[in-house]
A and B are shown apart, each in its own frame.
Chain A
Amino acid sequence: MFDPSTGADVASWIEDDGLLEDRLNVYRNNVFYSLTGSLSDLYQVITKLVGEEFFRAAASEFVRISPPKTGRILEYGADFPGFLSAFEPAKPLPYLADVARLEWAWHQAYHGQDSKPLSPEKLQSFPPERMAEISFKLHPTSRFVQSEFPVDQIWSANQDDAEDKNVDLGHGGAFLQVIRPELDVEVRQLSEGAFTFLMACENGLMLGEAYEVAVSREAQLDLTKMLSDFLLGGTFIEATINGK
Chain B
Amino acid sequence: MQSSHLHKFSKDPIPARAGIGLKAQHYREILETPPDLGWFEVHPENYMGAGGPPHRYLEAIRRNYPLSMHGVGLSLGSAGPLDKDHLKSLKDLTDRYQPGLVSEHLSWSHGQEVFMNDLLPLFYTEESLSVVVDHVSEVQDFLGCQILIENPSTYLTLKDNEMSETEFLIEAAKRSGCGLLLDINNVYVCARNHGFDPMAYVSEIPGDLVGEIHLAGHQVFDIQGTELRIDDHGSAVCEDVWHLHAHALSLIGTKPMLIEWDTDVPELSVLMSEAVKADRIAVASEESKPSVKVS
Contact = CB atoms under 8 A, between A and B. Distances in A.
Interface stretch (A23-31, A77-85, A169-177): A23-31
A112 B52 contact: yes
A114 B2 CA distance: 7
B156 A23 contact: yes
A1 B109 CA distance: 10
Contacts of B56: 183
B135 to A, nearest CB: 13
A74 B45 contact: yes
A67 B115 contact: yes
B22 interface: no
Given A20-B156, A71-B75, A1 B53 contact: no
Interface in A1-17: 1-2, 10, 13-15, 17
Contact of A71 (B86, B224, B263): B86
B228 interface: yes
A4 B48 CA distance: 32
B52 A72 contact: no
A102 to B, nearest CB: 17
B285 interface: no
B113 A1 contact: no
Contacts of B230: 26, 30
B119 A71 contact: no
Contacts of A68: 114-116
A183 B159 contact: no
A145 B205 CA distance: 55
Residue from B49, B52, B123 with most neighbouring chain A CB atoms (10 Å): B52
Contacts, number: 125
Interface in B74-127: 74-75, 83, 85-86, 89, 110-111, 113-120, 123
B48 A72 contact: yes
A19 to B, nearest CB: 6
B155 A27 contact: yes
A27 B53 CA distance: 33
B86 A72 contact: yes
B223 A22 contact: yes
B138 to A, nearest CB: 15
* Main secondary structure on A side of the interface with B: loop
Contact-residue bracket for chain A: 35 or more
B223 A70 contact: no
A27 B120 contact: yes
Interface in B174-201: none
Nearest to B115: A68
A111 B45 CA distance: 12
Nearest to B83: A70
Contact of B115 (A1, A30, A69): A69
B113 A31 contact: no
Contacts of B45: 71-74
Residue from B53, B75, B113 with most neighbouring chain A CB atoms (10 Å): B53
B102 to A, nearest CB: 15
Contacts of B55: 114
A104 interface: no
A55 interface: no
Given A14-B156, A111-B49, A112-B49, A73 B116 contact: no
A142 to B, nearest CB: 13
A18 B225 CA distance: 12
A68 B114 CA distance: 6
Given A69-B113, A111-B54, A116 B2 contact: yes
B53 A15 contact: no
Contacts of A113: 50-51
A101 interface: no
B158 interface: yes
A13 B89 CA distance: 34
Contacts of B114: 2, 67-69
Contacts of A183: 1, 53, 56
A180 interface: yes
18 contacts: A1-B111, A2-B111, A2-B119, A19-B223, A19-B226, A23-B155, A26-B155, A27-B155, A37-B263, A68-B114, A71-B83, A72-B45, A73-B45, A73-B73, A74-B48, A109-B52, A111-B49, A183-B56
Interface of B: 1-2, 4, 45-46, 48-56, 72-75, 83, 85-86, 89, 110-111, 113-120, 123, 155-160, 223-224, 226, 228, 230, 263
Interface of A: 1-2, 10, 13-15, 17-20, 22-24, 26-28, 30-31, 37, 67-75, 109-116, 140-141, 180, 182-183
